[in-house]
Structure 1
Amino acid sequence: MTGLAETLAEWLARGDAVALVTVADTRGSTPREAGAAMLVARDRTRGTVGGGRLEWLAVERARALLDSDHNADRLEVPLGPAIGQCCGGHVTLTVERADAHTQDALAAGERRAADARPVLLLFGAGHVGKALAVALALLPLRLRWIDSRAGEFPDRLPPGVEAVVSDRPLDHLAAAPAGAGYLVLTHSHALDFDLTEAALRRGDAAYVGLIGSATKRSRFERWYAARGRDAATLAGLTCPIGAALTGDKRPEVIAALVAAEILVAFAGHAAKTT
């Protein structure tokens, strides 16, 4: 998905007048957080500051700014009956005429946000792996998709996904940063077990997911115990993955459910470590 910085560069290159609307402050219940932003031109918008009447007012004010001699404006919006939006909080919006300096600042902010995203290692490029790569590419993650079979990766990767062709996946797992997540669904049960064991033994994973059934989990637990591993670490294992809809094994459905699991896991890990 194109970021606001790239979009702004394209619009400015076409000669469009553009305003940047940013959520500067929030109080109480609001539809977006501070820092959320959108671009407004005279005939199009990109991004969102929360939708509804709030966003309508923001777009109206931004276009009024573009038709004036001013470079900046500020909008205080109580989200209550006065505007027909029932969140009940309060939003402060800043509106500024955008230029090349704005584009540079947006690009720098997007780079910082991307660098701060949690890392997820996806092992396996089979049919479920392909569905997962598409679903996970939409999330605020740094996704590394690892398989030894170069021909299994699609010709066009989902945006933002890094494909890694390697016959040493354990090395990539060992090199991952603390707080990373791991999704294991390779073409080999033996490799699945080795990767899952290594992820659990790290002790710092936000999420460890192993594809398979309850039977596969039981087999893994017995194998894990036979190797003398600490059974308490098995509490950190999600297997089966995407089990909220038991029995629906369509890859796209599994991918949607796993994506939700991972977001919850990363949020919980962040809450525990901050």
Structure 2
Amino acid sequence: MSFERDHLAGLVAAHGPVIRVVVAEVAGSAPREVGASVTVWAEGQDGTIGGGTLEYDAVATARAMLADGRDRATRAIALGPDMGQCCGGRVRLLWERFEAGTLPEDPVFCRPVADAAPSLKVQKIEARARAQGTAPAPALVDGWLVEPITTPPAPVWIWGAGHVGRALVGSLLPLPGLALTWVDTGPERFPETIPDGVTALPAPDIAAATRLAPPGAHHIVMTYSHAFDQAICDGLLARGFSSAGLIGSATKWARFRKRLQQMGHAPAEIDRIRCPIGDKGLGKHPAAIALGVAADIVRDVARAGESAAAGDEGDRDERRLSGD
């Protein structure tokens, strides 16, 4: 479990202020673990802390808090005596109000459940998260609830399941923070076993599949057909993308660039597609090409993250200047 900041931000954008109810502590048998949460707004809710009566009561409390303006509450609950549930354990719940300007920004969200200064242990958890990117498990530590903040994985679409495509999937699969979608014209193009964590998408009209990709995805185009490659590039330029690379030579790209411009795409947008890709110095073996391309993707994802972080910082500065 973790604190899904972007998901919570989406709920706030859609519904206004919300109350998030999180399981802060568990002793004995309980419906859910520490970090399980339900987010509540006036007309709905998202997520679950389980337990039937426990959740019903928690949601009712959250809606009362939305109505009366309270920002925070905590309660220790004995599931048997207090809720009439067969679980024999105890839980502590924490209710917290969130709005657009109050969402946490650090890689780990640490706050007191009761009045207590952060202990040395809590301070070390925060320092490790900032310096090393270490994500602690959700836990109540010396009176402070600690939750790692997660962001959605970066979508990476690989177009083509040939030798280089297969090598590229193998290179990217162990890397954290990526969501791999693998596209080709039919199921026979893929290996018999698709690795866990990879979404295979057979698409007879492969260019039309560009409409399924998120506009912020990263793409590598390497099909068995130049015509398919060009059609995919056309589709991506219409759809939008965070980054895109095309396998091929400078000659191939010069030809594609001219044709894409004739199809109505702006030169500046066309030039966002990188071709050739990889590192020629590594050689032409599929695994060597894949290593160079994987390095390109990692850099692209990092740049996109830095750009988004800079945008968030600018938004926060603007809110501070405007007094919001």
Fold similarity call, TM over 0.5: yes
Q: What is aligned with 2:126?
A: 25
Q: What is aligned with 1:193?
A: 230
1:145 aligns with 2:182: yes
Q: Supply the AA of the counterpart residue of 1:258.
A: V
Q: What is aligned with 2:3?
A: none
Alignment deviations for residues 30-52 of structure 1 (CA, whole Å, 9 cap, x no partner)? 4x224257xxxxxxxxxxxxxxx
Note closer, same or farther for the CA distance 1:177–1:248 as it changes in structure 2 (3 Å cut): same
Q: Supply the AA of the counterpart residue of 1:219.
A: R
Q: Supply the AA of the counterpart residue of 1:245.
A: K
Q: What is aligned with 2:291?
A: 256
Q: Supply the AA of the counterpart residue of 2:204.
A: D
* Whole-angstrom distance in 2 between the partners of 1:137 and 1:144: 11
Q: C-alpha displacement at 1:245, in angstroms?
A: 3.1
Note closer, same or farther for the CA distance 1:223–1:271 as it changes in structure 2 (3 Å cut): same
Preserved CA contact (<8 Å) 2:208 2:235: no
Preserved CA contact (<8 Å) 2:129 2:135: no
Q: CA RMSD in A?
A: 3.1
Q: What is aligned with 1:162?
A: 199
Q: What is aligned with 2:256?
A: 220
* Whole-angstrom distance in 1 between the partners of 2:214 and 2:192: 28
* Whole-angstrom distance in 2 between the partners of 1:263 and 1:136: 9
* Whole-angstrom distance in 2 between the partners of 1:247 and 1:129: 17
SS of 1:116 mapped into structure 2: coil
* Whole-angstrom distance in 1 between the partners of 2:307 and 2:282: 32
* Whole-angstrom distance in 1 between the partners of 2:243 and 2:184: 19
* Whole-angstrom distance in 1 between the partners of 2:129 and 2:192: 46
Give 4+ residue runs of structure 1 displaced > 3 Å after superposition.
27-30, 71-74
Q: In terms of mean alpha carbon deviation, does 145-154 or 187-196 score higher? A: 145-154
Q: In terms of mean alpha carbon deviation, does 193-202 or 125-134 score higher? A: 193-202
Note closer, same or farther for the CA distance 1:259–1:247 as it changes in structure 2 (3 Å cut): closer
Q: What is aligned with 1:271?
A: 306
Q: C-alpha displacement at 1:179, in angstroms?
A: 1.0
Q: C-alpha displacement at 1:135, in angstroms?
A: 1.0
* Whole-angstrom distance in 2 between the partners of 1:252 and 1:144: 19
Q: C-alpha displacement at 1:141, in angstroms?
A: 1.0
Q: Supply the AA of the counterpart residue of 1:121.
A: W
* Whole-angstrom distance in 2 between the partners of 1:148 and 1:72: 50
* Whole-angstrom distance in 2 between the partners of 1:151 and 1:207: 28
SS of 2:165 mapped into structure 1: helix
* Whole-angstrom distance in 2 between the partners of 1:260 and 1:247: 12
Preserved CA contact (<8 Å) 2:181 2:199: yes
> Which of 1 and 2 has greater Rg?
2
Question: So what's the TM-score if we normalise by structure 2?
Answer: 0.51
Preserved CA contact (<8 Å) 2:261 2:270: no
- The percentage of counterpart residues that share the same residue type is 33
* Whole-angstrom distance in 1 between the partners of 2:126 and 2:282: 45
Q: C-alpha displacement at 1:228, in angstroms?
A: 2.7
* Whole-angstrom distance in 1 between the partners of 2:262 and 2:215: 27
Q: What is aligned with 1:56?
A: none
* Whole-angstrom distance in 2 between the partners of 1:224 and 1:173: 16
Q: C-alpha displacement at 1:29, in angstroms?
A: 8.4
Q: Supply the AA of the counterpart residue of 2:189.
A: E
Picking from 215, 218, 223, the partner of 1:178 is 215
* Whole-angstrom distance in 1 between the partners of 2:189 and 2:164: 12
* Whole-angstrom distance in 2 between the partners of 1:28 and 1:151: 44
Picking from 145, 148, 158, the partner of 1:122 is 158
Q: What is aligned with 1:35?
A: 135
Q: C-alpha displacement at 1:215, in angstroms?
A: 1.1
Preserved CA contact (<8 Å) 2:182 2:201: yes
Q: C-alpha displacement at 1:241, in angstroms?
A: 1.1
SS of 1:228 mapped into structure 2: coil
* Whole-angstrom distance in 1 between the partners of 2:184 and 2:242: 21
Picking from 268, 281, 287, the partner of 1:232 is 268
Q: C-alpha displacement at 1:269, in angstroms?
A: 1.7
Q: Which segments of 5 or more consecutive residues in structure 1 lack a partner in the other structure? A: 1-20, 38-70, 75-93, 95-104
Q: C-alpha displacement at 1:131, in angstroms?
A: 0.5
